[in-house]
Structure 1
Amino acid sequence: MGMIDKMFGLLFGSDRNVVRETVEIFRENTEAGAVRSAGIQRQAMTQFGAEFAVARQGYFDRFVDGLNRLPRPMLALGTLGLFISAMVNPLWFSERMQGIALVPEPMWWLLGVIVSFYFGARHQIKAQKFQREIVGTMAHVPQVLHNIKAIRALRFDSVKAADTGDDARLTMAALLPNDNPALEAWRRAAA
């Protein structure tokens, strides 16, 4: 019995627990980790509270506070501006949207992560998926370039916008002078 008492005393006695100390080498003590985490959070909250306890009275502080309030309204107004530009000048809008079609999917994810992180969310993207989607997006480049060329051909000021093609009757109608009352009135006034 004395030997078993000494063995248990060695493992668990004399204010030491060899088993617990050995396990804590490989696995964190959950209770001690929670105490450390609570201490860190308390320090962070104290620091944030001290930052906002100072009255912001200078012009620079007011400017930065106003700047911090801009992203949400700018996102909303920018989106409304895109809708308005699509109605006012569809060709201009279409050209810009064809350019946006070339933005790779991972860059949209990156933009989403940045915007989401700004508003408090966190996202991660895997590197392999990032590369695969870049290759997939780049495969669309010829189609997008063709679409931009077709859109630009619709502009009234593009090269050959008034080309009659192989239509001889239309070519002759364009070349032969016809009556122009405004030009005749101008000639009479000049003479």
Structure 2
Amino acid sequence: MGLIDGIMALLFGAGRNVVRETAEVFRENAEAGAARGAEARQQALAQFGAEFAQPAQGGFDRFVDGLNRLPRPALAFGTLGLFVAAMVDPLWFAERMQGIALVPEPLWWLLGVIVSFYFGARYQAKTQDLQRDLARSLTQAHQVKTNIEMLRDLRADSPGSADPGTDAALAQQLEGTDPNPALEEWRRRQKA
């Protein structure tokens, strides 16, 4: 017995498990690996949260945010202003356009690239929203077509709209007496 106890104590005794420790050399402990993975994900989320957290903004931050929102309306109102200026004072407008004609072509290309990148992301987002809305509308197209056909069949000028067809119950109801007891009693009193 002492030999077996000694071997068991050697393998599993003193809070150690030699078999498990040896196996972990060749294969990862799944429970420990899952714990490490969860901890890594938790740290990554904490890092992302700290990166995108909104600190208390000072005056300079608000000023820069305002400047970032300025180009789109400035370009739109500036273009409309050019049309107004061309109508109000054509000579002044012509002088300004002659100055723009002197801008070299590479500078126009650079301006085009900057404007394209600036507005490109917004255009892409709006295009994806539009495609999503179109797909949703197309799924409803068959139902809308069916509803329109049913409504057109109800129009007074559509052929056969007033024809009861071969519906015998409807023909009898239209030609027969009214099953209203109050009306029948009134008719009896009128005859008497």
Q: The TM-score by the shorter chain falls in which range?
A: 0.3 to 0.5
| Structure with the largest fraction of helix | 2
Question: Given the two structures, how large is their TM-score scaled by the length of structure 2?
Answer: 0.35
TM-score w.r.t. structure 1 length?
0.35
Higher CA-based Rg: 2
